[in-house]
A and B are shown apart, each in its own frame.
Chain A
Amino acid sequence: NAGVTQTPKFRVLKTGQSMTLLCAQDMNHEYMYWYRQDPGMGLRLIHYSVGEGTTAKGEVPDGYNVSRLKKQNFLLGLESAAPSQTSVYFCASSPSGQGHSPLHFGNGTRLTVT
């Protein structure tokens, strides 16, 4: 089992460019999440999904969009990147809602926006 796989691992964007971060899980988990991690601020929830075809906003959703067309995949899009979106992005999944069960994290994507 690969668990949770994120691609790419690193990316540098110029302000205004767009990109999509890919997350795939092979554990048949219903719930998937996108977090960003910034120094001194812990992990902040961007968007999440409670099942295929559903998405919901988290704590810091502005500037991001997501899609969950297939149960195993959760995509995070940046339509027009800004320097404030420089961060490490983690995807996570869980079999049931947060608080019910542990989160399984991917290895992260380090994004720099210049």
Chain B
Amino acid sequence: GQQVMQIPQYQHVQEGEDFTTYCNSSTTLSNIQWYKQRPGGHPVFLIQLVKSGEVKKQKRLTFQFGEAKKNSSLHITATQTTDVGTYFCAGSMEYGNKLVFGAGTILRVKS
């Protein structure tokens, strides 16, 4: 079945350092979504990528969708303590099909 692998599982950075999490699929994706879950909270939608090679930015966050639509990344520039949480990618093989979530990357930021 469709699998979405996410790495790293855990990352601990110094405040001000950059952070990247990667998402890889065994099959070509129709689209990919990213969510953030604060400790003790629920997942909150960040963004959706649909086009091959698409790059979107939200302030210090940069999201990329690979040319082959099999991988994606989320990069945070100059992390802040408010960035702590777990970041999930979720891919859909066919547009409108069920989303498959990656296991998530836990980000901790030392101030």
B48 at the interface (CB under 8 A from A): yes
One of A44, A59, A98, A108 near B42 (C-beta < 8 A): A108
Q: How far is the CB of A28 from chain B (nearest CB, A)?
A: 18
Chain A residues near B104 (CB-CB < 8 A)? 42
Total contacts A-B at CB 8 Å: 58
In the assembled complex, the Cα of A82 lies from the Cα of B26 at a distance in Å of: 32
Closest A-chain residue to B10, C-beta based? A40
Cβ proximity bits B38-57 to A, threshold 8 Å, 1 near / 0 not? 00011111001000000000
Is B88 a contact partner of A43 (Cβ separation < 8 A)? yes
What are the nearest 8 A-B pairs in CB distance? A99-B92, A102-B45, A97-B96, A42-B101, A105-B42, A98-B99, A42-B103, A43-B101
Given A59-B100, A98-B98, A99-B96, 6 other A-B residues pairs in contact with their CB atoms under 8 A: A40-B103, A42-B6, A99-B98, A99-B99, A102-B45, A103-B33
